[in-house]
Amino acid sequence: MTPDDHDDGGRGGPLRTYFVLRAVGALANQLLQFAVPVLVYEATGSAAWSGVALFVEWLPRLTSLPLAGPLVDRFSLRRVYVVSDGVRCAAAWLVALLVTVDPSAARTGLIVLALIAGASFEQSFVAGEKAMLVLVVPARMQRAQSLLGGIDQAMLLAGPAVGAALLPAGPAATVTVIATLFTVSLLLARTLPRTDHPPAGAAPGVGGDAAAPATTLRLADLRSDLAAGVRRVFGSPVLRLVVAVAFTVNLALGLLLASGPALVQTSHGRSGSALGVVYLLGGLSSMAVLAVTSQVINRMGLVAVGVCSALLSLAACTVLGVAPGFGWFVVLAVIFLTAESVFTVFIRVVRARLVPEAEFGRVVGVIVLLNLTSMPLAGLLVATGAGFLPLPWLVTASGGVALVVGAGLLWRLWQLMPQTRTSDAGRRWVVHALETVPPETAVVDGTVLDKAALAPQRETT
């Protein structure tokens, strides 16, 4: 199936099914991410242990990412999704049974489930990113990515809210709900269209189920694909800067996730459930803003929206730790989460335009690996720094450093990414001169453009 198969611009049945699949899987994943740090903090009363929990949650995501890209490039998206969801579903039901029989094993069971589900989630995440190239026509990519960003952000922030509501029911109920969601995700994954692609470098015309190398993945192939992804990322100045900025923003997000339970319960005297309400408000704000993000990009330009959203999120994180009251904490957290969701749309649109489809899995795997390295780093920062600085000042100092570094990177990115209004795109802004196709061409929305022809039309903002 290709985007041309959709008469409605890529928003037909398969795409709607994928959006529902993405929402269900993300909700289950966010329930786990919320439950583990909160339970650990409530059990130990230590912000340091909460940071350790965040590190443990994100470690398997990083270690599994180098495999995710090559898998998605070699096997069908449907197969990757079904296997990934099958592993998560089986693990969740086993832990649910364990917790029901022995409630004292809840914390250990949740951490083990988070490890398994985290590793499997990255496989389905990279597959889902490539599915957007298959199910969405390039002209509708901004709109589709805004919708996807709204779904992801809603689940990112609704998951903790649902988890907070489930906490009084006990760990067994929480794990059972998670297992049920993974089961629904598995059933939906089986309805995805078959979208096998030939491996990168295959001869033209080679593809389909019969030709795809869907049985083996050698270690040499894995190293080769990983090296190719690294070369693609670090060979493009734009991709290097986007990854670096995303690292700083994700570091700020990790600081919030690791320190949130302690800040809310110790600094502001609220319960763990109050943190879930904060995330819910952030989710509602994100969905409202993401509903108009595509129009804002059309008016202001993609780069302007990306720069503004990144600066706003980093600034909010810097002030968050020393918020004078719980009301200010809520406001700053909502601002941060909303701006971060808009920046996520910017990242997805840029990489959808920059990365060729044949290399998409391996390149996105490297990009996400580099971006998410900041999450366990934030956990370790809180775990080690809490013994030297009061937690509010630790968050503020770390956020301030991220803000200064991020501002410098964004200034360079603004200079490097001129925006051009092409004659065939009306008011839709496109990025060119992206150093992705040598020697004198650039890739925009999957189309090779001639830089020399576009140069006279350049309007640098």
Write the DSSP assignment of 5-19 as a string of letters.
Answer: G-TTSS-SHHHHHHH
Domain assignment of residue 321, yes or no: yes
**Which token pair is 332?**
């700053």
368 and 443 both lie in a single domain: no
Q: Helix, strand, or coil here: 419? A: strand
Q: Helix, strand, or coil here: 322? A: coil
**Which token pair is 3?**
């985007």
Domain assignment of residue 42, yes or no: yes
377 and 434 both lie in a single domain: no
Point out which residues pair with 430 in neighbouring strands. Answer: 420
Tens of pLDDT along 334-362? 999 999 989 988 888 887 777 777 777 77
Which DSSP state fits 423? T
114 and 238 both lie in a single domain: yes
412 and 447 both lie in a single domain: no
| Count of CB atoms situated within 10 Å of the CB of 447 | 12
Helices (H), 190-215: 208-211
57 and 132 both lie in a single domain: yes
What's the CA gap between 152 and 287, in Å, rounded? 9
| Count of CB atoms situated within 10 Å of the CB of 229 | 25
Q: Range of 426's domain?
A: 418-461
What's the CA gap between 339 and 328, in Å, rounded? 16
Residues of the chain with pLDDT under 70: 1-12, 42-44, 65-66, 68-69, 138-139, 142, 153, 157, 194-222, 272, 418-461
- Residue 313's identity, in one-letter code, is S
Per-residue confidence (pLDDT) for residue 219, from 0 to 100: 59
Please give the helix or strand (H or E) that residue 450 lies within, else none: strand 447-450
CATH number at residue 352: 1.20.1250.20
12 and 48 both lie in a single domain: yes
Domain assignment of residue 214, yes or no: no
428 and 325 both lie in a single domain: no
pTM of the model: 0.67
Domain count, the chain: 2
411 and 455 both lie in a single domain: no
Domain assignment of residue 306, yes or no: yes
**What are the Cα distances from residue 450, in Å, to 37, 414, 435, 439?**
50, 22, 12, 10
What's the CA gap between 58 and 337, in Å, rounded? 19
Crossing angle between the packed helical segments 171-189 and 106-135, to the nearest 10 degrees: 20
366 and 451 both lie in a single domain: no
Q: Helix, strand, or coil here: 196? A: coil
Per-residue confidence (pLDDT) for residue 409, from 0 to 100: 92
What's the CA gap between 452 and 283, in Å, rounded? 43
Which DSSP state fits 104? G
Crossing angle between the packed helical segments 106-135 and 77-101, to the nearest 10 degrees: 160
